[in-house]
Structure 1
Amino acid sequence: MKKEEIFENIKGKVIVSCQAVPGEPLYVEEKSIMYLMARAAKQAGTPAIRTSSIRDVIAIKEETGLPVIGLVKVQYEGFESYITPTMKEVDDLMEAGSDIIALDCTNQKRGDGKTINEFLTEVREKYPEAVLMADISTYEEGVNAWKLGMDLVGTTMSGYTSYSSKLDGPDYELVRKLSDTIDVPVIGEGRVHSPEQAVKMLEAGAFAVVVGGAITRPLEIARRFIRAVESR
């Protein structure tokens, strides 16, 4: 599916994030089971899936036939960034058939000694036709990623870097500022816990909204209910 067609399909919609990493209840060592979450998301009407790991990219594409935003979460020594942090992960995601590749485009420390600008320039030179999504935490990072040729900018990392705003809910203001400045889709992502918040993300200017934990992470969902009841 071409970039323009993917963008047309996701505009104004909810992209469901189906991820399970080692240590989480839905991570099974022997076999990916996240394709089942993706099956449910497709039946609900999502136009695309965001997922982590090569095996889940492959399994979810086979199951749903939907465009997949692929990433690999890996923590290398010396790196603060962990979302598709090196060319190895980009290569693997391209080989697996990711329709969009998400990368950490924050200013966090990189263990390879490269700046984020150097890394993104290398990725774009190696894969000029790839559709790349920048996961950022601040307005400045989003503008920088846009200037470096990223095709989409997501607010994924807002609140998850040491220097970004710590909020209980979505970063509507970041979405608003970016959508007023850059001319590529701004994807609202991060701490979207309710349908009302997803709608508010779109009203703030998001091109589309990614929702993960509120739909596909049962431990987080259960904890939210239990804490609310216990704190009454």
Structure 2
Amino acid sequence: MTNHDYGQMTNDYSVKTLKQGLIVSCQAPIDSPLHEPTIIAAMAQAAVNNGAVGVRIDTPSHIVAVRERVKAPIIGLWKQIISNYDVYITPQYHHAAAVAEAGADIIAIDATTRHRPDGETVADIINRIHQQLGKPVMADVDTIEAARAAAIAGADILGTTLYGYTAKTNNDSPPGWELLRQIVAELDTPVICEGGIASPQMARQALDLGAYAVVVGTAITGIDVQVKIYQQALQNS
């Protein structure tokens, strides 16, 4: 059985439930008073109560808190800064295992072509998540090349999450409309549009371009960032 075959098998209810829906990323900066498991869980519950088909949550303790209050699919990840490596979204298998143990339904990983710790490849970590954790994988990518490789490796979902946030794309600003178009045109793997979706109209545009689902974070839950934007606008008037 190939990785791709296994990826198709794990395209279970949690993935299908996301189709054509809104996924709300409930996260907060570490230095924010919002960075508390109970507060993140309240955000997630409010999102689901109002129609979100799923939530995207960082950090095992936050995932545990959200799982207690939300039955909708959780896309879980664990941001970790590792010296000498640029990958930071669930960079190693043991981070993925902790995310699964916490209660995530889908594991999000950095699936760019950047070097990973321990010499592990994207294919390695996807295979281990499938075989040892039995969870679908959302591969966060930045380019069509990374998307192709992740699809071949058996990713269950592709995400445009890292477009504009890597050395190869740092001259570009999300949303990655062109990347979304390329993935939809070339690959059969469902693609979630994430990054830079700042209005309901932009979310609708993502679906119209062929996105399987849409993730919105800062525009809905990013109180710290949004207040700064408003305050700067007032100061500049």
Same fold (TM over 0.5): yes
CA contact (8 A) 1:78 1:110 kept: no
CA contact (8 A) 1:107 1:141 kept: yes
**CA separation in 2, counterparts of 1:4 and 1:111?**
29
Q: How many residues align?
A: 228
1:207 maps to what in 2? 212
Determine which of 8, 17, 23 is the counterpart of 1:9.
17
The alignment-based identity, stated in percent, is: 35
CA contact (8 A) 2:86 2:114 kept: yes
**CA separation in 2, counterparts of 1:170 and 1:176?**
11
User: CA, structure 1 residues 205+166, in 2 after alignment: closer, same or farther (shift >3 Å)?
Assistant: farther
What is the deviation of 1:97?
A: 2.2
User: CA, structure 1 residues 66+119, in 2 after alignment: closer, same or farther (shift >3 Å)?
Assistant: closer
**What amino acid does structure 2 have at the position aligned with 1:90?**
A
Determine which of 18, 41, 66 is the counterpart of 1:35.
41
Map residues 57-206 of structure 1 onto 2, 5 A cutoff. Answer: 57-127=63-133, 129-164=134-169, 166-206=171-211
Larger relative contact order (CA 8 Å, sep ≥ 6): 2
Determine which of 34, 52, 59 is the counterpart of 1:53.
59
**CA separation in 1, counterparts of 2:93 and 2:103?**
15
With normalisation by structure 2, the TM-score equals: 0.88
Listed as ranges, the gaps of 5+ residues in structure 1 are: none
What is the deviation of 1:230?
A: 4.2
**CA separation in 1, counterparts of 2:173 and 2:109?**
24
What is the deviation of 1:220?
A: 1.2
The range that moved more, 130-139 or 159-168, is 159-168
What is the deviation of 1:208?
A: 0.2
**CA separation in 2, counterparts of 1:205 and 1:231?**
38
What is the deviation of 1:181?
A: 1.3
1:22 maps to what in 2? 30
What is the deviation of 1:121?
A: 4.0
With normalisation by structure 1, the TM-score equals: 0.90
Listed as ranges, the gaps of 5+ residues in structure 2 are: 1-9
RMSD, aligned CA: 1.9
What is the deviation of 1:111?
A: 3.4
The range that moved more, 114-123 or 195-204, is 114-123
CA contact (8 A) 1:170 1:189 kept: yes
